[in-house]
Chain A
Amino acid sequence: MNVRTIKAADITQAVKAVFMDLNYHIGSDILNALQTAQQQETSPIAQNVLAQLLENHRIASEEEVPICQDTGMAVLFVEYGEQVVIGDGHFEEAIQEGVRQAYQEGYLRKSVVDDPVFDRVNTKDNTPALIYTDIVPGDKIRILAGCKGFGSENMSAIKMLTPSAGLEGVKQFIMDTVRYAGPNPCPPIVVGVGIGGTFEKAAMMAKKATLRPINTRHADERYAALEDELLTMINATGYGPAGLGGQTTALGVNIETAPTHIAGMPVAVNICCHAARHKTIEI
């Protein structure tokens, strides 16, 4: 097996660049969806909110400032090619250093506290980032990077449904979660759903689903149809942009699925605001 050496410093540099990039420049999937929504909305207030969001993206991109002041927690899904060896350093440290440099030098807000209950002292560099690594064949490192704000993260939920709940139970739980979130998570939202696996697997899939471009569909056409159906149902709730009414409550629904246990059907719903910031890089 050929071994490829990647320098830790090169990983740091790539991670730093991607977090600055994704915080300033929204993806074309979101931009297109916002533009389409603005054309379709009939209420002046909804049109006005969407116009402000589009103008905000123009300013952020042009001036290279963050789209949103909540530049989130850094989340990375890594596919690590098993032929890769890290030179001059360690893989996870290299990533954390890249996140540190991006948030410190890129005028991104530091939003991480060291201890969740007692101390709650800011770590001042937005680390630790959350890194989920899969070992895959090959000699490349592929990173799906995202930053997750907590206005929408706080509106997320998981439920251990059992098989008898069926498709209707899945839809019901997703809609209950969206309705409970209402105007709070900065609609129009992106809804990431993870179905199957175990408790933690469902949650991880839901997170990953929020980082998938909204113009892609699940490979299984039954789930693809469910994504479309849920989008229609969510937009029928009428919350609209900023929760001030309208037909655009969500820009997209992405579902990820995995095999699960004979007794279970876990469903996790991770809600993301309209600033669904993510990029994929390959090193």
Chain B
Amino acid sequence: MKKITLPLTDDVIKDLHAGDSVLLTGTVITGRDAAHKRLYELLQKGEPLPVNIEGEVIYYVGPAPAKPGHAVGPAGPTSSYRMDKYTPALLDRGLKGMIGKGARNEAVIESMKKNGVVYFAAIGGAAALISRSIKKSELLAYEDLGTEAIYRFTVEDFPAIVVIDSYGNSVLVK
């Protein structure tokens, strides 16, 4: 089990290999379908993004509401392939890591190799367990999207697996 501190550096990314189990500590940003669509459209139009994504790790998640006393509600990963259409543009803009679940398309994997990016999986459906490693949640953008808004999560020993590394190697069964 590798302990990784965020933000990711290029050296750390080069040292991560498909199949590695990791514990992530630091901060990540969140975003899923609706937020990706908006970020992508801004990039297409050449307009500024509401969040600086350079060097960030994005977690594909739409949490359930937090019970009183909890930093966040259950917050497991959502399927990554739905973000594939938007992902290469975000990686070109400097995004360094992604956390989701399931497969990615060829265009994403090529862009990951080109930009030196790593894709982690969290365990789909282990939402209550995962939320214990999320210590803080702050709204960053798109409040109107509710659960789909962009948040900054502070995570401590967040469990993930490198499923596609920056060399394009994958441990997902084809």
Contacts and interface: CB of A to CB of B under 8 A. Distances in A.
Interface of A: 45, 48-49, 52-53, 55-56, 59-60, 63, 65-71, 107-111, 120, 122, 124, 151, 154, 182-186, 237-240, 242-245, 273-275
Nearest to A50: B123
Contacts of B131: 65
Interface of A is mostly: loop
A107 B65 contact: yes
B137 interface: no
A184 B129 contact: no
Nearest to B159: A52
Given A52-B123, A55-B129, A151-B124, A245 B173 contact: yes
B126 A53 contact: yes
24 contacts: A45-B19, A52-B159, A55-B129, A56-B126, A56-B127, A56-B128, A56-B130, A59-B132, A65-B64, A65-B73, A67-B128, A69-B63, A69-B75, A69-B147, A107-B73, A108-B64, A111-B62, A151-B79, A182-B102, A182-B174, A242-B124, A244-B161, A244-B171, A245-B171
Pick the 10 closest A-B CB pairs, nearest first.
A186-B124, A184-B102, A56-B129, A109-B64, A60-B128, A56-B126, A59-B128, A69-B64, A69-B127, A69-B74
Nearest to A273: B125
A184 to B, nearest CB: 4
A107 to B, nearest CB: 5
B8 to A, nearest CB: 22
Contacts, number: 133
A122 B74 CA distance: 19
A240 B121 CA distance: 14
Interface residues of B, number: 41
Nearest to B61: A69
Given A107-B64, A184-B79, 8 more contacts: A63-B67, A68-B125, A151-B78, A182-B172, A182-B174, A238-B173, A242-B124, A243-B172
Contacts of B101: 151, 183-184, 186, 242
A109 B128 contact: no
B123 A182 contact: no
Contacts of B123: 49, 52-53, 56, 242
